Structure 1
Amino acid sequence: MSFHDKIWFQDSPLKWLFWPFSFIFGLIVRLRRFLYARKILSSYRSRIPVVVVGNIMVGGNGKTPVVIALAEELSARGFRTGVVSRGYGAHPPMLPYEVTPDSPAAEAGDEPLLIKLKTGVRMVTDPRRSRAVQYLENDLDVILTDDGLQHYALERDIEIAVIDGKRRFGNGHLLPMGPLREPVSRLGKVNYILNNGGAMPGEYPVRLVPGRVCRLNGDPADLPAGTEVCALSGIGDPERFIRTLKETGLCPARRIAVPDHGFVPADEARRVAGDLPVVMTEKDMVKYGRKDLPGFYCLGIRAEIAPEFYDRLVSDIRHIQKERGIS
């Protein structure tokens, strides 16, 4: 467990060392919201419905599987759906950048590339999400933004907050004293709260269901239950991947430490793993070029959300379309 995790999720008294910085951060957060709310800072309103999927806490909350599930469900219900993202850590040759199935992960970013591969919908990255929305909006019915709850330069019609039901909000303090980007009270202003792992009243439960183990090129693989493996997970909450491996019957005997969005070369991963199979997340898989590397596997997950959530979301989107005269 990292130093920050001990402070944020074990409520160490060391957190008070960061109180002055957290106080200043809170002032900045409130001032920024005030300036956008009073139209002192400008924001872009799209002609089509924009649905923001984000969170108020740093680290992994299961947001990407939720975005994938939403894009698939809205597409299945007849909406021409697109996704925009900041493209964290990516180095695209131009902006906006439209992700294709053949895009290198270094250009597209790991999460945008994974979303494109899993859903097939149009996927565009740009640190200025409003510019990405303008690039897409004339060809689509609805746009999802992957993260961006705090990106107020883009107006949104529907806000969906994803929270981790096990970690909740840590010690409940703002960065860097705690793990929060905005106060917990911010959730009172969103349209939906999706809870990954233990929903409370007013929250829709999300269940992350593991898929089957595959080779990095997508071919099915057979790792029998009880197999000892080396876990590789460059995600915000690596402990969640360890739990998922155990749910499938695999035994994570070793781990490869990777920062969120990070990358470990295959030869380095093999050195740490020894003779154990290396099993990684799909988010990590895309960084290896989806090539069949002997001894390397990935385990995907999908987000299951209650049908009544989708029914209500679709109703809200259609209502917005009607208000704007969009057929």
Structure 2
Amino acid sequence: MRLSLMLEKAWSRHLSWILLLVPFSWLFRLLAGVRRLYQARLVPNPPLTVPVVVVGNISVGGTGKTPLVAALAHWLQEQGYHPGVISRGYGGRASRYPLLVTTNCSPLSVGDESLLLANICPVVVDPDRYRAAIFLLEKTNCDLILSDDGLQHYRLPRDIEIAVVDGKRQFGNGQCLPAGPLREPVKRLKEVDFVLTNMTTSDLLDKTKDRKTASLQNSTSFAIEPIQLRQLNSDEVLPVTGLFDLNQPGKIWFKDWGYGLQVHAVAGIGSPERFRDTLGSLGLDPQLHHWPDHHNFSGEEFAFQDDWPIIITAKDAVKCTHIINDKIWVMDVQAVPDSLFLKGLLEQLRELKS
């Protein structure tokens, strides 16, 4: 955990000791290029019988990709499609692949993100995403496939590529692994169909935040907005719009919730700072406790010697159902894509049908 934090800090600086690893980054880029050539051109798989939309990124770490996939699945259903999702099932180790995910599956087998998405539409996990796609088509009535991640999985034929960018971290120092956070050079974004930047309210106010993506064709943004807080061990729900009376600062509406209330923010996600900032935007005073992405919680992580409420993400909540602690609340969020992006996506999907 400490090493990952050191790397993240180093990657955010254009001048640091991490640049000593640049020669290894050149080697990484070379090998990545050879792998892409081999997978996409020398051993290509036959096209699939339904449109394939890949939602991925060119950097490591959380970018808001899974909430976006969830939002797209909901939106596509509203447009009359029957989407299905394929995923590597990162963080899980199933005894067999491919595997159709159900809500009864263990996150230890299928991963946390796949379990979240299975509440919306059919999901199949498999490190081989092409095999996952074939299995999905065999077992469900899906007429469109969303690939959660897999932008660099070139054995998977795709019709539309969506690259997701973190509006806060952007591309770090611009270097590829291991000297930087990039899986592929930034110029890869010129090849995708859409670039979506995950922008917070503060990011949107800072016009310099999206300067690196604004010039790209089909570049838009999306926001991840909190919907509600729900108690982990009960059905109690607090809609964030009713947490506080904005006309009477400090008025308590629900139990002890109020402006400036100190809370523990516990997260095992790729971008925990965004989680902390979102809680702060709700008027809370969060103390962040960061665990590695896809961390499996035992319950000891929540043993605090105070009575502060504990707030976790929905992604982490699927791994905490066995924990009995009435101080734990889950923050549910939704991604809100730009309307111009949705219009463009729908046009491209209709062109694929014609």
The answer to whether the 8 A contact 1:256-1:272 is kept is no
The answer to whether the 8 A contact 1:113-1:286 is kept is yes
User: Which residue is equivalent to 2:346?
Assistant: 314
The answer to whether the 8 A contact 2:25-2:178 is kept is yes
The answer to whether the 8 A contact 1:43-1:152 is kept is no
TM-score by length of 2: 0.85
- Deviation, 1:115, is 1.3
> What per-residue deviation string (whole Å, max 9, x for no partner) do you get for residues 234-279 of structure 1?
1111111110110111111x3323100112321x123246432211
> Is residue 2:320 matched to residue 1:288?
yes
Q: After the TM superposition, which residues 159-174 of structure 1 pair with which residues of structure 2 at under 5 Å, given as runs? A: 159-174=161-176
Q: Secondary structure at the match of 1:210?
A: strand
- Cα 1:153/1:227, change in 2 over 3 Å: same
TM-score by length of 1: 0.92
Which runs of 5 or more residues in structure 1 are unaligned? Answer: 323-327
**Aligned-residue CA RMSD in angstroms?**
1.8
Q: Flag as ranges the 4+ runs of structure 1 deviating above 6 A.
A: none
- Cα 1:273/1:137, change in 2 over 3 Å: farther
Q: Distance in 1 between matches of 2:75 and 2:186?
A: 29
Percent identity for Structure 1 against Structure 2: 40
- Deviation, 1:13, is 2.3
Q: Distance in 1 between matches of 2:6 and 2:340?
A: 40
Q: After the TM superposition, which residues 208-219 of structure 1 pair with which residues of structure 2 at under 5 Å, given as runs? A: 208-217=224-233, 219=236
RCO greater where, 1 or 2, for CA within 8 Å and sep 6 or more? 1
- Deviation, 1:291, is 6.5
Which runs of 5 or more residues in structure 2 are unaligned? Answer: 205-209, 239-253
User: Which residue is equivalent to 1:48?
Assistant: 50
Q: Secondary structure at the match of 2:275?
A: helix
Q: Distance in 1 between matches of 2:104 and 2:323?
A: 12
- Deviation, 1:64, is 0.8
- Cα 1:292/1:308, change in 2 over 3 Å: farther
Q: Distance in 2 between matches of 1:293 and 1:321?
A: 50
Which one of the candidate residues 286, 289, 306 is aligned to 1:256? 289
Q: After the TM superposition, which residues 1-327 of structure 1 pair with which residues of structure 2 at under 5 Å, given as runs? A: 2-37=5-40, 39-117=41-119, 119=120, 121-137=121-137, 139-197=141-199, 198=204, 199=210, 200-201=214-215, 202=217, 203-217=219-233, 219-221=236-238, 222=254, 223-252=257-286, 254-266=287-299, 268-272=300-304, 274-289=306-321, 293-322=325-354
The answer to whether the 8 A contact 1:258-1:264 is kept is no
Q: Distance in 2 between matches of 1:288 and 1:166?
A: 28
The answer to whether the 8 A contact 1:49-1:141 is kept is yes
- Deviation, 1:102, is 1.9
